[in-house]
Amino acid sequence: MIPFSYCYDWGVLDEKARQVAMAEFAANGAKHIVLTSNLLEKISGEPKLYLKLRQEARNAGLSFVDSHMPFNFETDIALPVEEWRPQMLARMKFNLELIHDYGVDTCCFHICSRYFKEFPMARHLDAARRSLEELLPVAEQLGVVICLENIFQPCNTVDDVLTLIGEFPSPWLGACFDVGHAHLMEHGMHVPDCIVPSHWEGVCEVPWEHDVLDRMLPHIVNCHLHDNNADLDTHTIPGLGSIKWPEVIAKLRTAPRLKNMQSEVIPLRRNGLPIRAVVESFNRILE
Amino acid sequence: MDLDRLPLTYCFEWDDVDERSRRQIFAEFAANGAKHLVLTDGLLKKLAGEPAMYRKLPAELAAAGLSLVDAHAPYRGECDLWLPVAEYRRQMIARHRFHLQLIHDLGVKTCTFHVGNLPYPGYPLEAYRDAARRSLEALLPVAEKLDVTICLENLYKPLNLPGAIVGFIGEFRSEHLGACFDAGHANILGRGGAYTEGTAYNSYGSMGFKPVWDDTVLDQLLPHIVTCHLHDNRILRDDHDLPGTGTVDWDTVLAKLRTAPRLRCLQSEVKPVRNHIPVSRLCAAFARLLAAPSKKSGTLNK
């Protein structure tokens, strides 16, 4: 059975609130939580958390499945600013070590969260290539699969993800299928005020996509499940948006490399969605 | 050597300081004549945990007209070089490699490390020593590549004593490994024998040892000292107070430091927040301390 893991916006919680949220997940039947980018940043900045966090999860009866590498500006594999790259690589190697120590064997990476308009796209993708050359041996040594995520921003298209995976044929490199992002790129062109075009301004026309799940299917190792209405990246509960969930889940069940599934609903971003509502919504679509 | 030709850098407890207050305190240091601040373990932890700080911090410092000189690696528990628990060691090494990269990127050339702080019950002293040795084996090549000198600091626990530090330095014989002389810790180790309580007793006791008092710390470390932590105390506790408020013999300390062949910078490791010391008073105290000997004599040690 494929483990199902829950993301949460841990970054805004203090220690007590974190323990309460973990207990809440467990009380509602969750078994696993995601080692999120927020948690990895916290462990990086607070060495004591390295042992404490694992103990907190154990106390709640939870374990960590799947992870998300910190992202943005200083932490993108496509970072084209040469002088910042050594810290980015050292940061990611350290995070891969933490991920391994937490018993997690998959980690989602954004290729490019911050596109530098002063550099051409090819320069970003070349930087991503060089990062993977350096990070893949570390991931292999630690037994962690690097999963490249499809996003609706430059350098994160399905083409970009599949190109990089094709260039590095390795069991330690795969895809993270983000259903919400796929929905935006497949249907956003028909939706007024869709957020996608704003991310491509000054770069090129939006390369709207189709059949994202079908194209990524052979390479999908983990997935981010959340809903939206193809306008904003709301990360809300399945059923509150316009994604056709039975179709998505049926296809995902046939993904040959799939190791885990993740709720990437972000409860606090949506005015405090109850954990119970999140867990129940996934129980429904996975039935 | 004229000590006032070496950069003087100030430590501060940044851990609980928010961005606005940090900028204010930077400006305060600059307004009081400071030129350099320490890349403290608190700042390094912030840089590690908040990636955006990597660009923000240099901009904040430049705006205040300050630069970073000297660093202090995070320490205790999961960061100890002597960490003997095999399964935790890889994260410790990877963490320090990452810190060394940050230190290099911020233009800092020296970094103080504690050999170890926390005891791990059940491990003999040799296990700690072997673990510390393996940590240095893993980190020194990184430090050499990044041109950062690792400076081992004297504390009061075994393996942080001057003999052990000189031993490690002798084993590795690298220009990127040296000593950080801590004047306050040396004062405690040199004069603590007159008491039967206090920081050193507790520190030793936690590892099942009795203190080994030693008033030759500075003499033993002198040839290897690359950085130094200057602060004062009254022996029983590690106060990190202003020079002149405790029992450190500053005339002797400074006279000897002038002859340290590898010394590259001086650090105020006074803890202003802990001791309620305004930045203006802190900077004035160090200006007095480092003034010409003729002006200084008799003003600090009474």
Contacts of A86 in chain B (CB under 8 A): 101, 104-105
Closest Cα in chain A to B42:
A45
Residues with Cβ within 8 Å of residue A279, at least 6 apart in sequence: A6, A25, A28, A29, A30
Q: How confident is the model at residue B293 (pLDDT cuts 50, 70, 90)?
A: low
pLDDT at B299 over 70: no
In sequence order, the 6+-apart residues with CB closer than 8 A to the CB of B72 are B11, B38, B39, B40, B41, B44, B111, B112
Query: How many helices, marked H, and strands, marked E, lie in chain A?
Result: 11, 8
pTM here?
0.93
Homologous superfamily of the A4-286 domain (CATH): Divalent-metal-dependent TIM barrel enzymes (3.20.20.150)
Contact A87 B98 (CB under 8 A): yes
Contacts of A84 in chain B (CB under 8 A): 54, 105
Minimum Cα–Cα distance from A84: chain B residue = B105
Ranges of each domain in chain B? 3-296
Give the per-residue pLDDT at A8. Answer: 96
CB A165 within 8 A of CB A197: no
Contact B97 A94 (CB under 8 A): yes
Residues B78, A70: C-beta atoms closer than 8 Å: no
User: Which pLDDT band holds residue B297 (cuts at 50, 70, 90)?
Assistant: very low
Instruction: Give per-residue pLDDT as tens, B88-137.
Output: 999 999 999 999 999 999 999 999 999 999 888 899 999 999 999 999 99
Among chain B residues, CA nearest to A52: B78
Give strand ranges (E) for chain A. Answer: 4-6, 32-35, 63-68, 106-109, 145-149, 173-178, 220-225, 261-263
CB contact (8 A) between residue A87 and residue B52: no
Query: What is the amino acid identity at position B118?
Result: L
The Cα-based distances of B237 to A35, A85, A270, B161 in angstroms read: 40, 43, 50, 17
Domain ranges of chain A: 4-286
Q: What is the pLDDT of residue A139?
A: 98
Interface test with A, best of B44, B53, B54 (most A CBs within 10 A): B54
- Which residues in chain A are contacts of B41 at CB distance < 8 A? none
Element (DSSP H or E) covering residue A51: helix A49-60
3-class secondary structure, A111: coil
Contacts of A50 in chain B (CB under 8 A): 78, 88, 91
Residue B196 confidence (pLDDT) = 77
3-class secondary structure per residue, B3-17:
HHHCCEEECCCCCCC
Give A62-101 pLDDT, tens digit per residue.
999 999 999 988 899 999 999 999 999 999 999 999 999 9
- Inter-residue contact B270 to B12 (CB < 8 Å): no
Measured CB to CB, residues of chain A less than 8 Å from chain B are 41-42, 44-48, 50-51, 70, 72-75, 83-84, 86-87, 90-91, 93-94, 97-98, 100-101
Chain A: nearest CA to B244, how far in angstroms?
Answer: 34
pLDDT by residue, tens only, chain A of 287 residues: 899 999 999 988 999 999 999 999 999 999 999 999 999 999 999 999 999 999 999 999 999 999 999 998 889 999 999 999 999 999 999 999 999 999 999 999 999 999 999 999 999 999 999 999 999 999 999 999 999 999 999 999 999 999 999 999 999 999 999 999 999 999 999 999 999 999 999 999 999 999 999 999 999 999 999 999 999 999 999 999 999 999 999 999 999 999 999 999 999 887 788 999 999 999 999 98
Give me the pLDDT at residue B301, please. 47
Backbone angles phi, psi at A96, to 5 degrees: -60, -35
Question: Residues of B with CB below 8 A from A41's CB?
Answer: 49-51
Residues of B in contact with A70 (CB under 8 A): 51
Chain B residues whose beta carbon lies within 8 Å of the beta carbon of residue A91: 48, 51, 98
**A129, A164 Cβ separation under 8 angstroms:** yes
Of B59, B177, B67, B32, the closest CA to residue B113 belongs to B177
pLDDT higher than threshold 70 for residue B226: yes
Q: For residues A240 and B268, what is the distance between their CA atoms, to the nearest angstrom?
A: 58
Distances (CA, A) of B39 to A251, A287, B135, B143, B242: 51, 53, 22, 16, 20
DSSP state of A150: P
Q: Are B186 and B177 in contact (CB under 8 A)?
A: no
Whether B88 sits inside 8 A of A50 (CB atoms) is: yes
Mean pLDDT of chain B: 93
DSSP SS3 for B199: helix
Of A41, A87, A97, the CB nearest to B101: A87
The pLDDT value recorded for residue B58 is 97
pLDDT of residue B292: 56
Q: Of B78 and A160, which is predicted with more confidence?
A: A160
* Contact flag B55-A73 (C-beta cutoff 8 Å): yes
pLDDT score recorded for residue A27: 98
Nearest CA in chain B to A44: B49
Which backbone phi and psi does A6 adopt, to 5 degrees? -115, 130
Mean pLDDT across B225-237: 96
Closest listed residue to residue B90, CA positions, set A52, A68, A37, A99: A99
Residues of A in contact with B48 (CB under 8 A): 44-45, 91
Contact across the interface for A90 and B97, Cβ inside 8 Å = yes
Give the Cα separation of A121 and A204 in Å (integer).
10
B34-46 confidence digits (pLDDT tens)? 999 999 999 999 9
What class is the B3-296 domain?
alpha beta
CA angle (B156 as vertex; B151, B160 as ends), nearest 5: 35
Chain B residues bordering chain A (beta-carbon distance below 8 Å): 45-46, 48-52, 54-55, 74, 76-79, 87-88, 90-91, 94-95, 97-98, 101-102, 104-105
Mutate which of B14, B53, B76, B78 to disrupt the A interface (most A C-beta within 10 Å)?
Answer: B78
Q: Which residues of A touch B106 (CB under 8 A)?
A: none
- Give the type of residue at A130: R
Measured CA to CA, the distance from residue A136 to residue A131 in angstroms comes to: 8
Angle between helices B86-105 and B125-146 (to 10 degrees): 30
Task: Give the residue from A33, A66, A31, A266 showing the smallest Cα distance to A149.
Answer: A66
Q: Provide the residue type at A210 as one letter.
A: H
Q: Is the pLDDT of residue B63 over 70?
A: yes
Q: Do A83 and B78 touch (CB under 8 A)?
A: no
Kindly identify which residue of chain B lies nearest to residue A71, measuring between CA atoms. B51
Q: Which tokens hold the place of B138?
A: 């893993």
Closest CA to A181 of A203, A204, A160, A163: A160
Cβ(B269)–Cβ(B240) below 8 Å? yes
